[in-house]
Amino acid sequence: MQRDEAINLLKSGISTKEIQHWADLGCGSGTFTIALAELLAPGSEIDAVDIKRQALPKTHNGVAIHFEQFNFEREQLPYPEPDGILMANSLHYIKDKSRLIRRLAAPKFIVVEYEHRKANPWVPYPVNSAALNDIFSTLGYQTQPLANAPSRFGGSIYSMVAFK
């Protein structure tokens, strides 16, 4: 995915006016971390988390990026509750999505996922937008679709914001 495509999937869910602290859980190589940094106000911070070591820049667009290597599914976040949590193509690795979301209990989530229902080796626990809406609603969140884009693997990718 290109940076501009990632920005388009996130931009309507991000407030760009105030300094914020976000966590990007399952940041991978940082495509969505950099897109988020493009959208946040300078002075904001992103804790980019992945189970594997990643080489991310320390800052981008005036936003500090702190990489932390740990398993967010099994370990507590090692910092105070962020203003928001980004999960771009990482929630499909989590079998019990409700349990994780309940434990994280952030005031705002932005999720980017594939819009299909069939598991495969790369998406072991898919969650389409209707199912994700149901999960968040059950946990007391309001949801709003943000954007859709074609997936280079076929089908489409969607983004959704959930907030208390």
| Contacts of residue 106, Cβ cutoff 8 Å, sequence gap at least 6 | 23, 81, 82, 83, 84, 85
**Structural domain boundaries of the chain?**
3-163
Measure the CA–CA gap between 60 and 57, rounded to whole angstroms: 7
Residue 143: phi and psi, rounded to 5, are -125, 160
Confidence at residue 163, expressed as pLDDT on a 0 to 100 scale: 96
Measure the CA–CA gap between 123 and 126, rounded to whole angstroms: 6
Confidence at residue 12, expressed as pLDDT on a 0 to 100 scale: 95
Distances (CA, A) of 18 to 21, 32, 83, 94: 10, 20, 11, 31
Q: Quick one: how far is CA 81 from the chain centroid?
A: 15
Specify the CATH number of the domain 3-163.
3.40.50.150
Q: Which two tokens stand for residue 64?
A: 């500090």
Over the chain (164 residues), the average pLDDT of each successive run of 10 is 93 92 97 98 97 97 97 90 96 97 95 90 93 97 96 87 96
Residue with tokens 């790369």: 122
Whole-structure pTM value: 0.95
Could you count the other beta carbons within 10 Å of the beta carbon of residue 38? 18
Residue 35: phi and psi, rounded to 5, are -60, -45
Residue with tokens 């976000």: 22
Confidence at residue 153, expressed as pLDDT on a 0 to 100 scale: 72
